[in-house]
Amino acid sequence: MTTPEYSWWREKRINDNIPVSSQEDVRPIEEHLQVVPSELEIIKRDFEKRSSELGKKIEQLEEEKLRLGLDVDIHKLEAEKLKKGKNKAEEDLNSLKADYKKLRLSIRTAGLGKTSEQW
């Protein structure tokens, strides 16, 4: 039979009095073997990340440019259609003015343009 103090002392001893390390400080072997990246590798990784972000930004801007280009084309077509409509309306107005002048001339020639007092 052993005393409690001896049992406690014996539990603390392992391999000729080498104390057992606590499990809290134990790191996996992978962590011990992990290679610390060099400054160049860190810079390269940051550069690749930034390059990827800028590539995505360029794609977004190109899509927006394409969308805006389509909007411009639509507005140009609408403006062209309005100009054609305006030109047609002006032609119709000029035609009506010419017809009106001819009608007035015909009325004068026929003598229908007189007032009741002139008759």
- Supply the pTM of this predicted model: 0.42
Question: Who's near 19: CB < 8 A, 6+ residues apart?
Answer: 12, 13
Q: Which residues pair with 13 in a beta bridge?
A: 19
Per-residue model confidence as pLDDT tens for the chain (119 residues): 678 887 777 777 655 555 555 566 667 777 767 777 789 999 999 999 999 999 999 999 999 999 999 999 999 999 999 999 999 999 999 999 999 999 988 888 887 656 566 65
pLDDT value for 53: 96
Assigned token pair, 56: 């995505």
